Structure 1
Amino acid sequence: MRCTKHRRQTVGACNWCGKQLCPYCIGKKEGGKLYCDKCAMRLSTVKRAKIPKPEKPKKAPGARAQPVIEEKPTQQKKVFSVDEEGYLILEQ
């Protein structure tokens, strides 16, 4: 496909408007993303907002951490033995 403005082979399309771009039409390039001149101008007015870091929960003065007790189900011990032929056998 050829560029309508410069009659050169296109290298990609604008990520915003989809216009086919030749190397001379690229207004802005961010990594693999290409933008035409018009969309690059629009992007220059867009500010990226910083996301605030989440605050750690504050403990009340004098409060103690409550211990968490987890009960694990009791498991039966498995007993294995080896027979004369070398096979492992589970004994129940």
Structure 2
Amino acid sequence: MASYSLNLSNLMATSAEPRPKNIYENGERTEKISDYSYNLIDVNQGAILSVTIPKQKFLPPQSFVEVINPVGTPYVSENRALLSIKADDIIPIDD
């Protein structure tokens, strides 16, 4: 499936802990972590986005952040169209 560069702006970090994404080998979950997913709030749309980056980091809750090189890949799950968002990094924006 095609992937698309995204233009994300006005995103705010939440107080939710990042979720580690485990690596699967031969259909079995391993203890190895591939990357981490962060819940961000799209202030313009009022929606929660899940963005995955390769490294775990601290994002101050309720701080505005910039997502570096976001790429979205659409997929279907349970008859719903969804978007998987991966990025190189998420950095807090200084006010």
Query: TM-score, length-normalised on structure 2?
Result: 0.18
Q: Which has the higher contact order (CA 8 A, sep 6+)?
A: 2
Structure with greater strand share of residues: 2
